[in-house]
Amino acid sequence: RKTGVTLRLLHHEYLEQNRVGAYGYTQFCAHYNGWKKTQSLTMRQVHLAGDKLFVDYSGKKPHIIDVETGEPIEVELFVAVLGASNYTYAEVTRSQTVPDWVGSHVRAFAYFEGVPAAVVPDQLKSGVTKSCRYEPGVQRTYDELARHYDTVIFPARPIHPRDKAKVEVGVQIAQRWILARLRNQRFFSLDEMNDRIAELLEDLNTRMMRRYGASRRDLYEKLERSVLKPLPASRFSYGEWKKARVNIDYHVVFDDHFYSAPYQMVGDEVWIRAAALTIEILTEDGVPTAENRVGSHARSYKRGGHTTSDAHRSVLHLKHAEWTPERIVRWAKTIGANVSLLVEKILAERKHPEHGYRSCLGIIRLDKKYGPERLDAACARAVAVGGRSYKHVESILRNGLDQAALPKTDDAPAEPIDHENVRGPDYYN
């Protein structure tokens, strides 16, 4: 098992330790081979109908041609084999990433028109997050796929190809009867290659197997089709998963966009499931049920944007959100024209309208203490002197300046000046 170690080297080391009565090389090899036969026993596996589906990728990769550059692009060949009938499904995908891996399973189940009791993959990173002989960790989306189709993921043990010998043989057969027959053909897209693979797959599954005296399709129809679990009513919708913590503004972030969660969950850890059109926020255990779903939003791809549900706001924040510049101006008009004018100027001069909300609301509420007439007059004075805040208006009312004459503004016409040095218009006629 060690790199570079040979029987010749082992025999040489053996002679150094046993100089008297040692075996010669030929006898040493004979004893070694006799020992080796006892170390590699194989248990024959009995495959029950509808029990297991074996899945894997081919080590030998086909390729498509880039239309723009003419360069070959390697793609992946996915193979799935039912245990009892050897009924086979194959397709090519761009990569071995989770979306392609999960998508291939969805299309395989549709091809078989049913779901086996268990799926046996290799410990590929797209399917298994933690490689372990006894309790491997299944990737979250892959596990969700299994729950959707009411099956289980049963990964093969690491470095034990015999655990999935069916698909190992299936991959070899796919390489011989599919890939080899594509070697002289050129394809410029995955769809184009998959269309041709579908034709070759039909030929493979209907070809007579000498060992069984029947084709894969015949065995599938006879043994497995009726015992496979039915497909669910809806096709599996792929989603990405991410763990997040609800921020102090009761939002979580996914792909640089912020989505609200109930304000009571600030500081809690949640799971985010992102599909193409929706974002779901789930409690910490992450099981996608109605009881665990605490938020659902339409997915937005606007970076830095916010999607907020009113149902997630606190009562105080909800009342604050109801205020708009238009509503504040309408309220101010019910008190007086000058109040409305001052409010409009404050909102217009602030960098963001919400920065002026508190000042405007404070001014409007002075009506309760001083009355509409005095407040309107105070606002007229504030407009004239350039005051643009609650403090200006409150100071005017507190000091009674609203009852004094308004100061002259730059727009008011100047009174004529009577002075001996002023010649007047008649001088120039």
Kindly report, residue by residue over 379-417, the tens digit of the pLDDT.
999 999 888 888 999 999 999 988 888 876 554 445 555
Kindly report, residue by residue over 217-235, the tens digit of the pLDDT.
999 999 899 999 999 998 8
Kindly report, residue by residue over 12-39, the tens digit of the pLDDT.
899 988 888 899 999 999 998 888 877 6
Q: Any idea what the Cα angle at residue 71 is, between residues 65 and 74, rounded to 5°?
A: 65
Q: What is the chain's mean pLDDT, rounded? A: 83
Cα Dmax for the chain = 147
Output the DSSP codes for 19-81: -SSPPPHHHHHHHHHHHHHTT---PPP-PPTTTEEEEEE-SS--EEE-TTT--EEE-EEEEEE
Two tokens, residue 214: 């029947």
pLDDT of residue 289: 72
Cα 395 → chain centroid: 55
Q: What is the crossing angle of helices 357-365 and 325-333, to 10°?
A: 20
Output the DSSP codes for 132-187: -SSSPEEPHHHHHHHHHTT-EE-PPPTT-GGGGHHHHHHHHHHIIIIIGGGTT---
Phi, psi (deg, nearest 5) at residue 56: -170, 170
Classified as helix, coil or strand, 107 is: helix
* DSSP summary character for residue 313: S
pTM to 2 decimal places? 0.57
pLDDT band per the 50, 70, 90 thresholds, residue 293: confident
Kindly report, residue by residue over 183-209, the tens digit of the pLDDT.
889 999 999 999 999 999 999 999 998
Q: Quick check: 156 and 168 in contact, CB under 8 A?
A: no
Kindly report, residue by residue over 152-190, the tens digit of the pLDDT.
988 876 555 555 556 678 788 888 888 888 888 999 999
Q: Which comes out higher in pLDDT, residue 84 or 91? A: 91
- The whole-number average pLDDT for the span 350-377 is 83
Say which residues have a Cβ less than 8 Å from residue 78's Cβ, sequence separation at least 6. 55, 56, 57, 58, 90, 91, 92, 93, 100, 101, 104, 108
* DSSP summary character for residue 229: B
Helices and strands (H, E) in the chain, number of each type: 14, 18
pLDDT of residue 134: 43
